Amino acid sequence: MKLKDWLKVNRKFFLERDLRYLMRNLYPQVPSFYFELDSCLDGDKLAYLDRVKSLYIKGMPLAYILGKEEFFGLEFIISQDCFIPRKETELIVEKAIKLIKEHSFKYILDLGCGCANIAISIKKNVESEDVIIFASDISYKALCIAKKNLSLHSLDIPLIRADLLAGFKKASLDMIVANPPYVEERYIYGSLLYEPRIALQASERGLFFIKKILLEAHYYLKEKGYLILEIASYHKDYLEKFVVNLKTYQFVEWIKDYSNLFRGLILRVRKYG
């Protein structure tokens, strides 16, 4: 069977983005799989594609099937022990890199790092040996995946097992970047069932960890240090009031995603509470 014939039959089962990533993994040496449309699929390739399709149509995310995912132009090792990096989180990373460069920040924490995609993406793009990034997570298994990714990208970033900010020195960080769990249990279905609950789910309408970080982060940030959080779009109105009532942060920016939804929040420490 030729590749074009397999695609004709099976393309309908895949999201286009996932299909393209699958093809890039099938033909890593060519600039585009379109150059291989007339190539014949040998037994190994056909068996591989059939296995991927079988798992995919059951709902398993392609990242878990392949054991890898792209993020911020980099490839990361992924397993079901960690959360799959999302495209919208790249917007958080872009803002963090810009602020680090503008303010010459030195000490950065990727809080709840998972596979360390945020920490690694920042470190690879700030282009400064002076920037020291820490990556923390409560999950030992997630930190094991993070360690593999540090090795993959030849980086030395301290990995710390901690429950949020426990164990960090107060007033020591220039920036905290976090993509905490913020999904309500009722929204966890379909492909999300394959991902670790500890990395996804939060009580209090998805706000438990976000609120906890907001209540604690200013103690660990230096004066005028920055906190960057990824949020669910429907959290925006509540968090706006919550932060105003805290009186410890100054609003810097709300981050919108590619669909013009509010998906991130940038705050600066105003004073210590």
> Rounded CA gap, 144 and 135, in Å?
12
> Rounded CA gap, 168 and 160, in Å?
10
Tell me the whole-structure pTM to 2 decimals: 0.94
pLDDT band for position 71 (cuts 50, 70, 90): very high
Is residue 179 flagged as an active site residue?
Answer: yes
Name the residue with tokens 């150059």.
Answer: 35
Any alpha helices (H) in the chain, and if so which ranges?
3-10, 16-26, 43-57, 62-66, 89-103, 117-126, 140-152, 197-200, 203-206, 208-220, 236-246
Quick one: what percent of the chain has pLDDT higher than 90?
92
Give the model's pLDDT for residue 133.
98
Q: Which of 117, 125, 149, 179 is catalytic?
A: 179
* Ramachandran bin of 234, using left for φ above 0, alpha for ψ from -120 to 50, beta for the remaining angles: alpha
- pLDDT higher than 60, residue 273: no
Residue 172, phi then psi, degrees to nearest 5? -115, -10
Confirm if 28 and 64 have CB atoms less than 8 A apart: no
Is residue 180 flagged as an active site residue?
Answer: yes
- pLDDT higher than 60, residue 219: yes
> Rounded CA gap, 217 and 222, in Å?
10
Neighbours of 225 (CB within 10 A): 21
What is the per-residue pLDDT across 104-155, written as a single tens digit (0 to 9) for each? 999 999 999 999 999 999 999 998 889 999 999 999 999 999 999 999 999 9
How many residues would you count in the chain? 273
Confirm if 179 and 118 have CB atoms less than 8 A apart: yes
Please compute the mean of the pLDDT values over residues 32-59 and round it to a whole number: 92
Q: Which of 14, 33, 76, 83 is catalytic?
A: 83
Homologous superfamily, domain 81-269: Vaccinia Virus protein VP39 (3.40.50.150)
> Rounded CA gap, 258 and 166, in Å?
34
Crossing angle, helix 16-26 and helix 43-57, to 10 degrees? 150
Confirm if 270 and 240 have CB atoms less than 8 A apart: no
Contacts 24+ apart (CB under 8 A), 44-53: 46/1, 46/6, 49/6, 49/10, 49/22, 52/22, 53/10, 53/13, 53/14
Give the model's pLDDT for residue 32.
77
Give the model's pLDDT for residue 271.
62
Q: Which of 14, 180, 181, 209 is catalytic?
A: 180
- Average pLDDT of the chain to the nearest whole number: 95
Burial profile 11-33: b = 16 or more Cβ within 10 angstroms, e = fewer: eeebeeebbebbbebbbeeeeeb
Contacts of 58 (CB under 8 A, 6+ apart): none
Looking at per-residue confidence, does 49 or 31 come out higher? 49
Residue 71, beta-bridge partner list: 74
Quick one: what percent of the chain has pLDDT higher than 70?
99
Give the 3-state secondary structure of residue 238: helix
